[in-house]
Amino acid sequence: MSDNTQQTIEYYKSELIKKDEIIKKLSEEVDKDQLKELKIQYQELSDIVYNLKTENEKLKIENEKLLEDLKKKEIKVEENEEKKEVTDGRNNQQDSLLSQESKQEKVGTAETAEIVAVTPASEATEPVIPEGIKTGNLQKQSQLLKTFDRRYFVLTKDTLYYYKSSNDPSNEKSIDISSDCNVKIVEGTTFDLEAKSRTYTLIADSVEERDSWIKELKECNVNVIPSGKEKSTFNKKNEESTKLEILKSENESDINIQQKPVFPEGVKTGNLHKQSQLLKTFNQRYFVLTKDKLYYYRSSNDPSTQKSIDLSSNCKIKIGESAKFDLETKSRTYKLIADSEEDRDSWIKELKKCNIIVISLEKEKSISINNIEESAKLEAPKSENENENDIDIQQSVDNTVDKATDVVEVSE
């Protein structure tokens, strides 16, 4: 529809609206004759609008016919191009055959030429889709109408063939990519193939499919030219790939440098039950004794849970009942239980070699009794009430100390 007709329609519409409003306002005051005249004018305007609508529909029909005619012309042009290609191919075949025959003996040259010229179409081989490096469907823009049609493409080393479908090899067309061809990457899945004669605009089904076609065309010595955003994305991809390679090499070197935790070589190894600081429960731990440290772990298969006891200065061992023994250090007393008395004695023997003092319970008792007797002789006798008060005070002090140590110390 033209701009003039659209403007006239809009003008008449506005006029009709105005007149309807005027008629409503003046219907009570205007005479019947005037009303009749207004109605006639209104009818004329409505007829004009109707005529414009019919003309618009006619224009639409004419435009559709023109488009159909253009499509038919394009199809005829394509068919003529196909015929030309077929005839050119046949002429080339005949020329090649004649050149081969001219090199042979002179006898029988005329007969062979007649056979070639007279060969019926039924004996000619049927067209076949060639085997390509890559095959698949792409949307190709037509030269005349600029519409996109789905075509089946076959890529070889020096030619890109395309057909109306993968089941119809008779309508073969080709694009020569043997020399000076460029591929330009456009936004989305669109890319242009610039040949000598023409630029082909193609659309793939996905970005991955587009990149796959471009990769294969690049291997056929076609120049790839990224445009705009694609350049930046390509540069980013290259930068990211180089960064990833550097990080991989650095991680590999770090892995080689950073070794996994390993148990140290010890004088003695084995399991002991150790009392926890807070809950006072005994848990089995794996112990490794070296010259100046006693390491312990949750199990013999987990060296990552390493903890250690420093044996370098002022450590003592108190031998307890059955398989029990205590290891006293500056910071803490470790209560340990072996599986047997023989195992306990073996541990004490090795710990003694590390310059640790060993004290049995009998010796400790005798030392404590002697100390008590000496203190009793030196001190003056106290009343029974005083002794009871001292005992109560001492017990309260001991209880507060035990509670403070339980809160402050951290259990395993």
Instruction: For residue 369, give the CATH number of its domain.
Output: 2.30.29.30
254 lies in some domain? no
The answer on 365 and 305 residing in a single domain is yes
Closest CA to 140 of 102, 213, 187, 193: 193
Q: In the prediction, which pLDDT does 208 show?
A: 93
Residues 6 or more apart whose Cβ sits within 8 Å of residue 283: 273, 274, 276, 412
The answer on 398 and 321 residing in a single domain is yes
Q: In the prediction, which pLDDT does 362 show?
A: 60
94 lies in some domain? no
In the block, which residue shows the tokens 């309260």? 396
344 lies in some domain? yes
169 lies in some domain? yes
HSE value, Cβ hemisphere, 13 Å, CA-based, for 391: 7
Ordered DSSP codes for 84-122: HHHHHHHHHHHHHHHHHHHHS-STTHHHHHHHHHH--GG
Q: In the prediction, which pLDDT does 239 show?
A: 64
34 lies in some domain? yes
Beta pairing partners, 245? none
387 lies in some domain? yes
Residue type, 31: D
Residue type, 277: Q
Check: CB of residue 293 under 8 Å from CB of residue 310: yes
CA angle 358, 364, 370 (to 5 degrees): 140
Check: CB of residue 172 under 8 Å from CB of residue 156: no
The answer on 275 and 223 residing in a single domain is no
Q: In the prediction, which pLDDT does 408 show?
A: 40
Check: CB of residue 196 under 8 Å from CB of residue 178: no
112 lies in some domain? no
The answer on 151 and 53 residing in a single domain is no
Q: Which two tokens stand for residue 116?
A: 């070639």
Q: What is the DSSP letter of 259?
A: P
Q: In the prediction, which pLDDT does 258 show?
A: 53
Mean pLDDT of the chain: 78
In the block, which residue shows the tokens 């067309």? 173
Output the tens digit of pLDDT for each of the chain's 412 residues: 677 788 888 888 888 888 888 877 766 665 677 777 888 888 888 889 898 989 888 898 988 889 888 888 888 888 787 777 767 767 777 776 766 666 565 545 445 444 444 444 444 577 889 989 999 999 999 888 889 999 999 999 899 999 999 888 888 999 999 888 999 988 889 999 998 888 999 999 999 999 999 999 999 989 888 765 555 555 565 566 666 766 766 665 554 445 678 999 999 999 999 999 888 899 999 999 998 899 999 999 999 999 999 998 789 999 988 899 999 998 899 999 999 999 999 999 999 998 888 887 665 555 545 654 565 555 544 444 444 555 455 555 455 545 544 544 444 5
Q: In the prediction, which pLDDT does 401 show?
A: 44
The answer on 385 and 273 residing in a single domain is yes
Number of domains in the chain: 3
The answer on 272 and 223 residing in a single domain is no
Which of 227, 255, 277 is a domain's end point?
Answer: 227
The per-residue pLDDT for range 87-121, each reduced to its tens digit, is 776 777 777 676 666 656 554 544 544 444 444 44
The answer on 149 and 210 residing in a single domain is yes
Domain encompassing residue 294? 268-408
Q: In the prediction, which pLDDT does 373 show?
A: 57
Q: Which two tokens stand for residue 319?
A: 């031998």
CA angle 241, 246, 247 (to 5 degrees): 95
Q: In the prediction, which pLDDT does 189 show?
A: 92
Which of 71, 89, 107 is a domain's end point?
Answer: 89
The answer on 131 and 57 residing in a single domain is no
The per-residue pLDDT for range 144-192, each reduced to its tens digit, is 888 999 999 999 989 999 999 988 888 899 999 988 899 998 888 999 9
The answer on 141 and 11 residing in a single domain is no
The answer on 164 and 284 residing in a single domain is no
What whole-number distance in Å separates Cα of residue 130 and Cα of residue 169? Answer: 9
What SS3 class is residue 200? strand
Q: Which two tokens stand for residue 65?
A: 């016919």
Query: What is the enclosing helix (H) or strand (E) of 163?
Result: strand 159-163
Closest CA to 293 of 325, 259, 330, 264: 264
pTM over 0.75: no
Which of 227, 244, 259 is a domain's end point?
Answer: 227
153 lies in some domain? yes
The answer on 398 and 293 residing in a single domain is yes
The answer on 335 and 218 residing in a single domain is no
